[in-house]
Amino acid sequence: MNNPHKKNAKLVLSNGITFPAFSFGASGTTVGEIVFNTGMTGYQEVITDPSYYGQILTFTYPEIGNTGINHEDSESSITVKGIIVRNYSSNNSNWRSVKSFNQWLIEQNIIGLYGIDTRALVKILRSNGSMNGLITSEDKDIKSCLKIISDTPKMEGLNLSKEVSTKKNYSWINTTKTDFDIRKKKSNEVKKLKIIAVDFGIKQSILNRLVSHGCEILVLPYTYSFEDILAKKPDGIFFSNGPGDPSTVLEGINLAKLLIDYGKIPMFGICLGHQIFGLALGGYTYKLPFGHRGLNHPCGKNNKIEITSQNHGFAIDADSLPKDIVKITHFNLNDNTVAGLEVNNKPIFSVQYHPEAGPGPHDSDYLFNKFVSLMLERC
């Protein structure tokens, strides 16, 4: 490909395997957990998903960047540590595009590699599990690269929510200008419901979906106290997605436990929020070999299947959940891991996947209706 930005670069994995490559985007060196996403669309949303904080993301789809970057699709100001693609498009064409993919990566200081056999890389990650690695456009020898990698902590034991959670309260106002999403049309006559969103690394598309269902949202850091949340008299409480090891987010787990024990306010958790609920209910979490990251993961139970968007590296141990307190509502049908739960006799539920579909299929959008219905029943 005729590309003025290409430079000699490389990917080095913690097991010593090295992939020569070309660089694009920002120059330099970055280190993180190497993971892969199998989605075919939505690269802007994926790269700005806070749940990828601390990770270097590999796209399995071979051509990335052809639709450029727009003002509407970013999920946050937080980005991945770096990206790896088979090929990227130096030309972009889309009616919403305001800049090229390469230009945006430079502005965001995201290092990218292309020209790598991403199929071979993904086979290594599937066989050996996700691992730390380093990408660099600098002249570094393998020994020094491996030293940097060995000095970088693994994902287990890392509380990354503290790095991405909001530091102060804020009210969310839907700023998305897109008018072609048919899901957004809701009556203005619906009662405005007061939602507290507990932020572990929340995506803007989740907030937008809640707004579209008639909710007024106050976003709080996960360190907020149980008493202060009750004092705000919310109609519902939402626990967000986020990065890192859920078992390390002790303040969030304790907050969830107190709220679940109280049990009078509807609660909805997504992704890390779902894992936090599981831990608060007495369960355990564990790290998956290479995680679930993509837009086509089947989940369900009792002959009903939803195709879901997912991004997580940890899961709840099904056998650890107290069956007299909680019911498993969904399983990931690829590996039978827990994908959804409900607390018995309380208006509290969660899912491991992303019903807001930013990006992804809309099969699970009904879960927002379920959350709203639980709140309206108690108003």
What is the distance between the alpha carbons of residues 361 and 208, in angstroms, rounded to a whole number? 16
pLDDT value of position 8: 85
Would you tell me the crossing angle of helices 272-280 and 250-262 to the nearest 10 degrees? Answer: 70
State the Cα angle at 104 between 100 and 105, rounded to 5°.
115
The catalytic residue among 292, 297, 312, 354 is: 354
Count the Cβ atoms, other than its own, within 10 Å of residue 265. Answer: 21
**What structural domains does the chain harbor?**
8-150 (3.50.30.20), 161-376 (3.40.50.880)
Using CA atoms, how far residue 80 sits from 108, 131, 328, in Å, is 10, 15, 32
Give Cβ neighbours of residue 99 (< 8 Å, ≥ 6 apart): 68, 69, 107
CB 66 within 8 A of CB 93: yes
Token digits for 325? Answer: 């307190």
pLDDT value of position 191: 72
**pLDDT (tens place) for every residue of the chain, 379 residues total:** 445 555 589 999 999 999 999 999 999 999 999 999 999 999 999 999 999 999 999 999 999 999 999 999 999 998 899 999 999 998 899 999 999 999 999 999 999 999 999 999 999 999 999 999 999 999 999 999 999 999 999 999 999 999 999 999 999 987 565 555 655 555 555 578 999 999 999 999 999 999 998 899 999 999 999 999 999 999 999 999 999 999 999 999 999 999 999 999 999 999 999 999 999 999 999 999 999 999 999 999 888 899 999 999 999 999 999 999 999 999 999 999 999 999 999 999 999 999 999 999 999 999 999 999 999 998 7
Distance between first and last Cα of the chain = 60
Indicate the pTM of the whole model. 0.94
Is 271 a known active-site residue?
Answer: yes
The catalytic residue among 45, 75, 306, 356 is: 356
pLDDT value of position 179: 59
pLDDT value of position 173: 82
Is 297 a known active-site residue?
Answer: no
Is 299 a known active-site residue?
Answer: no
Three-class DSSP category at 31: strand
Per-residue pLDDT tens digits for 249-263: 999 999 999 999 999
Token digits for 16? Answer: 């010593």
Token digits for 329? Answer: 């509502």
What is the distance between the alpha carbons of residues 267 and 264, in angstroms, rounded to a whole number? 9
Using CA atoms, how far residue 347 sits from 199, 206, 262, 266, 277, in Å, is 20, 20, 11, 5, 13
pLDDT value of position 177: 57
Is the bond leading into 359 cis (omega within 30 degrees of zero)? Answer: yes
The catalytic residue among 271, 274, 297, 299 is: 271
pLDDT value of position 127: 97
